[in-house]
């Protein structure tokens, strides 16, 4: 991008406060504008607003996801095989806000078009089927398991 061809347009109907990383999408004729929203007492959350027109005005509808360790800000939304997925990042694995991990969780809509609040998980999307190879953290009844890496299994003496 070398130049701007027109004046910026103020997006109306959004709540006060710092917002960044907006991500628009359309579902069932309704336009959604999602954005990282900072609440002074809470930190980053993911908020959203809806409109009948892509340029607004928008009506603020609330939060898609609450703050988790100040790391639920930049995100995107994708429809894949009839399911809606919220992609976002977190740094609770690294403990460092510049070393972020990608997360994904399913997002669901109510009949009136509002979004049900997404509860962040480490598990993410997908459900294993019978016969699938699964990660240990995806098996709910396991406790105190010991695992070996692929290298250890293939070469138990380390040679």
Per-residue pLDDT of 96-124, as tens digits, reads: 666 777 889 999 999 999 999 998 887 77
- Reported as a pLDDT band with limits 50, 70 and 90, residue 28 is very high
Max CA separation in the chain (angstroms):
67
Q: For 7, how many CA atoms within 13 A lie in the half-sphere containing its CB?
A: 3
Give the separation between CA 134 and CA 118, rounded to whole angstroms: 24
**CATH code of the domain covering residue 98:** 2.115.10.20
Average of pLDDT values for 41-70?
A: 89
Classify residue 136: in a domain, yes or no. Answer: no
Beta bridge partners of 62: 48
Give the separation between CA 137 and CA 107, rounded to whole angstroms: 22
Q: What's the pLDDT score for residue 146?
A: 67
Count: domains in the chain: 1
Q: What's the pLDDT score for residue 130?
A: 76
Q: Which of 2, 115, 127, 9 is nearest to 62 (CA)?
A: 115
SS3 label, residue 138: helix
Most confident of 62-76, 98-112, 138-152: 98-112
Classify residue 4: in a domain, yes or no. Answer: no
Most confident of 74-83, 85-94, 137-146: 74-83
> In this model, does residue 71 exceed pLDDT 70?
no
- Containing domain of residue 86, as a range? 19-127
Contact yes or no for 11/56 (Cβ under 8 A) = yes
């Amino acid at each position: 991008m070398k130049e701007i061809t027109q004046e910026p347009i103020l997006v109306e109907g959004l709540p006060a406060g710092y917002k960044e990383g907006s991500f628009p999408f359309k579902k069932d004729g309704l336009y959604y504008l999602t954005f990282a929203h900072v609440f002074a007492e809470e930190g980053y959350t993911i908020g959203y607003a809806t409109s009948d027109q892509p340029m607004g005005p928008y009506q603020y509808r609330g939060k898609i996801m609450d703050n988790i360790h100040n790391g639920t800000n930049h995100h995107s939304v994708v429809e894949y095989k009839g399911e809606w997925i919220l992609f976002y990042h977190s740094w609770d694995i690294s403990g460092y806000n510049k070393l972020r991990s990608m997360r994904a969780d399913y997002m669901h809509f109510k009949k009136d078009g509002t979004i049900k609040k997404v509860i962040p998980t480490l598990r993410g999307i997908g459900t294993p089927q019978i016969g699938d190879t699964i990660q240990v953290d995806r098996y709910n009844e396991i406790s105190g398991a010991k695992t070996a890496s692929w290298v250890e299994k293939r070469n138990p003496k380390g040679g």
